[in-house]
Structure 1
Amino acid sequence: MRLARTALLGAVALGLGIAVSGVVPAMAENGPGVTDTEIKIGHIGPYSGPASAYGTIGKTIGAYFDKVNAEGGINGRKINFISYDDGYSPPKTVEQARKLVESDEVLLIFQSLGTATNTAIQKYMNAKKVPQLFVATGATKWGMPEKYHWTMGWQPNYQSEGRIYAAYILQNYPDAKIGVLYQNDDYGKDLLGGLKEGLGDKTGMIVAEAPYETSDPTIDSQIVNLKASGADLVIDIATPKFAAQAIRKIGETGWNPVQIVNNVSQSVGGVLKPAGFENAKGVLSTGYLKDPTDPNWKDDQSFKDWSAFMDEYYPDGDRSSSFTVYGYSVAQTLEQVLRQAGDDLSRENVMAQAANLKDFVMPMALPGIVVNTSPTDYFPIQQMQMMRFNGERWEMFGPVIEGSGGN
């Protein structure tokens, strides 16, 4: 699938005319996909399959680059955003990555989504020395610059998120019996590992673990088993489809445990609405971006700017979905990197600029949350805040918590 959202100027033919004066200055050697008028950016996302709710992210990014292009592009170049569907299937991800790198000749692949899918292409991208930039997954393996120089994460990593939940539980529910629903892959195991690490010698509080496969049609049996275990606090380490199923099933069974849903599935429109607001009331999670449904932001200039963007460039987008805010914010982060790179759009310089973000403020980030990277720190966002769903919207509470970059 290719999203033909971005209107692009045609290639400008430059004649080989005679220079009229002086010596032509040396130009930086740009990477593939870069001309005087264009920057090709590749993207891979699940527009179909079990994680298709995340397709909104790719559509939002495409819309944002439409905005950038309409405003003159980046240093005079328009973004050619080429986005393909992989159905959340690692073999398909490999196929699409090869197509983007070897056929489309993109400068980089940006925001490819999923832990297993990105794992499938990580060695290939690094062998080819192509930036695998701001991947849409919080696994700790995206922050290993000494081993994988060309791969960088963006969102808070899962291990730190797990530690945050553990700290919250130990302080507020020290006698809880914890049941964990988790996706049976590196993503699920990474967050579960952080939870156990945070619990320390209290890991015995976990009375049941219920893994599921992305190919499972439902997770009803897992929820039944967690209820039977006697758990009174449930943590959903699940992507949107399964998180929504879990919240709904728990409500339907009349079970009333404390529920924590991981950050990647806290979308009001994409998860809580299909789960049923009555079932989701009281659910806990973490956030680092402003909730578009929160009326407290209605007079905030950044919210007004995001709303105007949605009106003009993505009018069919779901305004209740945090995925639109996410796509908007990560696209702004790449925009900052490319602007910092200036006229040196080599792949090496793009990575150098990505590793040189200093207190970059994303307008739709929660107050106090900034982006920082360095050549030895590939975790751009390391702060989160706890929040609770009140039946209509998320309510933030407690301090902004500084996480760590993972192991």
Structure 2
Amino acid sequence: MHSSRHLRRPLVAVASLSLIGTLAACGGGSDSATASTPGVTDDSILVGTHMPLTGPAAAGYSTISPATKAYFDYVNDKGGVHGRKITYKVKDDGYNPANTQSVVRELVLKDKVFAVVNGLGTPTHTGVLDFLKTNKVPDLFVASGSRSWNQPEKYPTTFGFQADYTTEAKVQATYIKENLADKTVCFLGQDDDFGEDTLKGLTQVLGEDGVKERQSYVTSNTNVGPQIGKLKAAGCEVVSLATVPGFTALAVGTAARLQFKPQWISTSVGADYSTVAGALGEAAPLLEGFLSTNYLPSQFDDDNEWITLFKKINEDYNKGAPFTGNTVYGMTVGYLFVQALQQNGKELTRQSLIDTIEEGGLDGPGLMGLRFSKDDHSGYGGAQMAKITGTTQDYFGPVYATDDGETPVKEYTEGATTPPKDGIPTK
């Protein structure tokens, strides 16, 4: 236990033995700071999240929180973390920012959660940043690649998780520059930070003139025909997507009806094969040759020890749900949260866990390291290319590392980690 980093309140002298007995009976224990921490008891930790279990982003994304819970249940069955079992309270926000504010307030003020873990969505989560900051709630591993989560001075309790959209787009653009330099490159993205940050990464590498046509969509309108028509009219040969899975399928399907067949290339957000193929149904073969980036191991890589571990947990604790990239995503989040708790030690407060994460040391299944520090809350810092062939999505080429700034895209050579023997981090 690295006790030097934990906040402790001085012991207050009490005047009577009966009062001491009362405090002990109420679970006062040896660490009064832990005892007064919301959501934490001697044998439990309550955390929560907001997820689109319904609505325009539910396809695929609704399977993330069950995967995280499955990993927590696996850990709980083996004794939990420092004697505490994790309860994960998931509330549906329908990918609607107004709903998100309502359910997050319930989680914090009514349910008294210790932390919010993996709240999903750029437009949704943006609206609760100030609330979580004001209430000093750890806002961990946000399920979005927006650069907004990496503002440690403004939002000291918020941490990203996935490679940010700009980072992924810089890796994509590097591939385009090296392999598709003679093609007309265009862009279709969500009308928020998701789209803006992705476009920023593309133009950093390709230049402002390197992206000819730029179109956006809103999640409340599922007709993307006008946007796809403009991309076709502009002679686009490569189309970079900043789309959630349902809109990836809409874009590909609409383009096929318009006899428009560009080379698609997407961030990991909208590229999970199982999810998009499921949305396309019989039209799934349209995904042949679809390119994307990712920062977590491939669900199809049975030689990867993390995939072997997660498949076993999925079978035993997730009712045998389909194993997809979103399953890998959800279980990775669960692993990192458990790892942070292990490293924190038994004496747990909200601030002590934030301090622990800022010390670095978290790794997990990612293809490259996490960048967490006191000055960096951004998460994974790179990606690798992937291609759909038939019904698999295989990675190829080197793993690249970069950031959302001017750092050039460079090959990452340190290699990935392997899971501990029983799949539970010990420190």
Task: Report the TM-score, using the length of structure 1 for normalisation.
Answer: 0.88
- Cα RMSD after superposing both structures: 1.9
The number of aligned residues is 379
* One-letter amino acid matched to 1:353: T
> Partner residue of 2:414?
none
1:383 is the counterpart of 2:382: yes
1:128 is the counterpart of 2:132: no
* One-letter amino acid matched to 2:337: L
Structure 2: how far apart are the matches of 1:315 and 1:402?
Answer: 36
Q: Secondary structure at the match of 2:374?
A: coil
> Partner residue of 2:317?
313
* One-letter amino acid matched to 2:194: Y
Deviation at 1:305, TM superposition (A): 1.7
1:38 is the counterpart of 2:44: yes
Maintained 8 Å contact 1:143/1:405:
no
Maintained 8 Å contact 2:51/2:65:
yes
Q: In 2 relative to 1, CA 299–206 (structure 1 residues): closer, same or farther, beyond 3 Å?
A: closer
1:364-383, Cα deviation, whole Å (9 max, x unpaired): x44xx233411111122102
Please give the residue correspondences for 1:270-281 in structure 2 after superposition, counting only pairs within 5 Å: 270-275=275-280, 276-281=283-288
> Partner residue of 1:94?
101
Q: Secondary structure at the match of 1:396?
A: strand
Deviation at 1:346, TM superposition (A): 0.7
Maintained 8 Å contact 1:60/1:314:
yes
Q: In 2 relative to 1, CA 179–26 (structure 1 residues): closer, same or farther, beyond 3 Å?
A: closer
> Partner residue of 1:77?
84
Q: Secondary structure at the match of 1:255?
A: coil
* One-letter amino acid matched to 2:251: A
> Partner residue of 1:232?
237
> Partner residue of 2:149?
142
> Partner residue of 1:12?
none
Moved over 6 A (4+): none
> Partner residue of 2:391?
392
1:179-227, Cα deviation, whole Å (9 max, x unpaired): 2111101111111122112222xx2232211111110023122112211
Maintained 8 Å contact 1:359/1:371:
yes
Deviation at 1:27, TM superposition (A): 4.7
Deviation at 1:406, TM superposition (A): 4.3
Structure 1: how far apart are the matches of 2:264 and 2:295?
Answer: 19
Q: Secondary structure at the match of 2:34?
A: coil
1:250-292, Cα deviation, whole Å (9 max, x unpaired): 2333322111022111211111343333200111101122222
Of 324, 327, 332, 1:329 maps to 332
Structure 2: how far apart are the matches of 1:406 and 1:80?
Answer: 37
> Partner residue of 2:257?
252
> Partner residue of 1:6?
none
Structure 2: how far apart are the matches of 1:171 and 1:190?
Answer: 22
Deviation at 1:25, TM superposition (A): 4.8
Please give the residue correspondences for 1:141-290 in structure 2 after superposition, counting only pairs within 5 Å: 141-200=148-207, 203-275=208-280, 276-290=283-297
Q: Secondary structure at the match of 1:337?
A: helix
Q: Which moved more, 1:388-397 or 1:120-129?
A: 388-397
Task: Report the TM-score, using the length of structure 2 for normalisation.
Answer: 0.84
Q: Which moved more, 1:346-355 or 1:266-275?
A: 266-275
Please give the residue correspondences for 1:104-115 in structure 2 after superposition, counting only pairs within 5 Å: 104-115=111-122
Of 45, 48, 58, 2:54 maps to 48
Q: In 2 relative to 1, CA 312–221 (structure 1 residues): closer, same or farther, beyond 3 Å?
A: same
Structure 2: how far apart are the matches of 1:26 and 1:370?
Answer: 33
> Partner residue of 2:70?
63
Q: In 2 relative to 1, CA 227–148 (structure 1 residues): closer, same or farther, beyond 3 Å?
A: same
Q: Which moved more, 1:92-101 or 1:274-283?
A: 274-283
1:101-125, Cα deviation, whole Å (9 max, x unpaired): 1111111111000011111000111
Structure 1 unaligned segments of length 5 or more: list them: 1-14
Maintained 8 Å contact 2:292/2:386:
yes
Q: In 2 relative to 1, CA 256–291 (structure 1 residues): closer, same or farther, beyond 3 Å?
A: same
Structure 1: how far apart are the matches of 2:181 and 2:173?
Answer: 10
Structure 2: how far apart are the matches of 1:385 and 1:136?
Answer: 19
Percentage of pairs with the same residue? 34
Deviation at 1:33, TM superposition (A): 0.5
Structure 1: how far apart are the matches of 2:160 and 2:115?
Answer: 14
Q: Secondary structure at the match of 1:399?
A: strand
